[in-house]
Structure 1
Amino acid sequence: MIVAEPDHRAVSHAEEDENYFVSMTDMMVGILFIFIIMLMVFALHFRQQTDETVKLTAEQQQQLQKANELAEQIAQLRRQIVAEIAELNKADQARARLLEKIQRKLDEVGLKVTIERETGVLRLTEEAIRFSPDSSVLDDTAKRNVDAVAKVLLDVLANYAACPDTETCPGASGYVVETVFIEGHTDRTGDDSRNWQLSTERAVNTYRRIVDNFPGLRKLRNSDHREILSVSGYAYTRPATEQDDSEGFRINRRIDLRFVMEADRRERLTEVLDLLDKMEKKVDELSPTGTSVISTAPTARP
């Protein structure tokens, strides 16, 4: 009987295949394990970044909300200022009509005056009031002319005052005069201290002549219940002409009436608008995207 011997080469080859398969399996498991660890690390890192991004986004949203609220407040204030400036322009137009009416009425009685609409000045020329050098005395002609001016003022200003007396003061027709300054001026000759005194004396003497003969003007009040008429002296600081001769000196020795409406605050409002512009730039800086959160519509300027 013949017994077959095992094929040691076949067994050896099978064992080698099995060992190779086990090694590959272990390696794949190891690689998979490493991959899982890396995936977990990436997931944890991604979650951390996401949480930080969400937190940062929430802070940015809160900052943007504050910026938008501030921007809306600024825009509202800007609209109010622009509306008030428009109202000031209307007040200027009302003052121009007032000056023109006074000029027209004085012209009807033969008294020539000049007006400056931009500054609200009614100028009593040397033909109306003529002062001698170093004198504040009103001569007879000047007194008659001052009386004519006072009569017209009483007639016209009643419609631009805020007093409650309906018989002598009908009340303002939309716009109120805050003050009418009776301004005295001198030429550039003489002592500076004397010129300041002299210009004030000329204004005071004119004022006294007006209220003594037309006391009704003292009843005219502004919204603060103060008299409309007031006086001021400017020496030679506001010349009507730069002529450096006797004619120029005569022109500058004069009386001006300056009409100030209660709404004359344009310069201050313009400064506020400039401040708003700076505030808007600061608000834009709060925007996380760097884009403007404020309307860029053009703003009316005086």
Structure 2
Amino acid sequence: MRAQAKRLRHEEEEESAFISMTDMTVGFLFIMMILLAFFASQMQEPDAVSRSDYDRVIAERDMWQERAQSRAEVILRLEAEIEALKQQRERLQAEVNDLNTALEVQRAKVTELTSELEAARTRIADLEARIRELLQQVAERDEQIEDLRRQLAELQKIDPLEAYLAQVSQARREVLQRLRDAIRADFPDLQVELSEESDALRFQGEGLFASGRSDLARDRREIVARLAQRLDEVLPCFTLGEASRFDPDCNPGFVMIEAVQIEGHTDDVGTDRVNRNLSAARANSTFFAMTQAAEQVMQHQNLKRQPVLSVAAYGPDRPVASNETPEGRATNRRIDLRFIMVTPQDTDGIEVIREALESVEDQR
């Protein structure tokens, strides 16, 4: 840019010099014309001026004319060059203007990019600070995870008694589900469910008995008989006695049933004496109907060599629904078939159960 400006100034100086020379030449010619006019006015006669003077003046005139013509040619050439330089100057000035405009645009972009750069640097600083914070949190979580892993490792150390009791609970649930599914398949309309604790089958009382009665309805005896038969199929693998058929395939956890209680329950309508007697009578009716349908069911014994099948009566003491509604009272009038498992107090007790069941296997 500086070189272009310097060149422009030089061109302007040359232009000024050419203009001055032109003015001087024109002035010089004007003077010569005045002199010629003066000489002409002084000439009175052709013979008034000597020949030598005349020839000298003519020679000088011719010389000045020649010089004037030469200068005129130079002036024309210089004016043409000046015009060309002016056009070059205009083009260069236009280019300068364009470059200045482009320069301003680029400066604006630089300013914008500088602002963006500062914003990006601020954002980077914020992100780096957040990353450091998160890394600190990750380190803290790693410590917590490691601590929890240590705690989990401690908890995962198997307690033989706890593991055995878990197997006992699982085996009872599977036995009850097997019985429930079999009864449902035999009697699709019968309402039979597992208890909340998965330790009993629950029959609504009016599903087996007429309201206020303790004797099984004639068309319900078949249900109780089929229940006894299904129970007789399950108990051999979990009991002792002559009917025992223990096998590790059907009882891999070596668990044993302590009792299978036929429990009678009622709603709270009526006196306590009547309800307790009614619940006991219903439990006994179910017990005798089952033993009559499958006599061998009483051969299944617990670890104490006692029959596992027994009865219990609770009257209205153990409701499973509200007695405020007819539906709730109907649900509470029920028979439960509850499985009570042998639960040893220590590992020695587990070994006693295992040995008792294996002795059955050895006798086969």
TM-score range, shorter chain: 0.5 to 0.7
Q: Counterparts of 2:327 and 2:219 in 1: how far apart (Å)?
A: 19
CA RMSD of aligned residues (A): 2.4
Rg larger for: 2
| Structure 1 CA distance for aligned equivalents of residues 238 and 163 of structure 2 | 19
Report if the CA contact (8 A) 1:131-1:254 is conserved: no
Is the contact between residue 126 and residue 251 of structure 1 (CA under 8 Å) also seen in structure 2?
yes
- SS of equivalent residue, structure 1 residue 234: strand
Q: Which residue of 1 aligns with 2:199?
A: 120
4+ runs deviating over 6 angstroms? none
Is 1:221–2:301 an aligned residue pair? yes
State yes or no: 1:170 paired with 2:248: no
- Paired letter, 1:109: D
Partner-residue secondary structure (3-state), 2:194: strand
Which residue matches 1:160?
238
Q: 1:151 to 1:127 in 2, by over 3 A?
A: farther
User: Which structure 1 segments of 5+ residues have no match?
Assistant: 1-79, 267-302
**Relative contact order, CA 8 A, sep 6+: which one is greater?**
1
**CA–CA separation in structure 1 for the residues paired with 2:310 and 2:344:** 17
TM-score in terms of structure 2 length = 0.47
In structure 2, the gaps of 5 or more residues are 1-156, 347-364
Matching residue's letter, 2:201 = L
2:206–2:330 CA contact under 8 A, matched in 1: no
Shift of 1:265: 6.2
Q: Offset at 1:81?
A: 10
Secondary structure in 2 aligned to 1:244? coil
Q: How does 1:1-302 map to 2 (within 5 A)?
A: 82-111=159-188, 112=190, 113-116=192-195, 118-126=197-205, 128-133=207-212, 135-163=213-241, 165=242, 168-171=243-246, 173=251, 174-263=254-343
Q: SS where residue 315 of structure 2 aligns?
A: coil
| Residue aligning to 2:52 | none
Kept in 2, the 8 Å contact 1:99–1:117? The answer is: no
- The 1-side partners of 2:275 and 2:258 are apart by 27
Contact 2:206 2:333 in 1 (8 A): no
Distance 1:265 1:99, change over 3 A: farther
Distance 1:203 1:126 in 2: 10
| Aligned residues with identical type, % of pairs | 30
**1:96 corresponds to which letter in structure 2?**
R
Bigger fraction of residues in helix: 2
TM-score (norm 1): 0.56
Q: Deviations over 1:35-81 (max 9, x none)?
A: xxxxxxxxxxxxxxxxxxxxxxxxxxxxxxxxxxxxxxxxxxxxx99
Q: CA offsets, 1:238-257, max 9 Å, x none?
A: 11211413222222111100
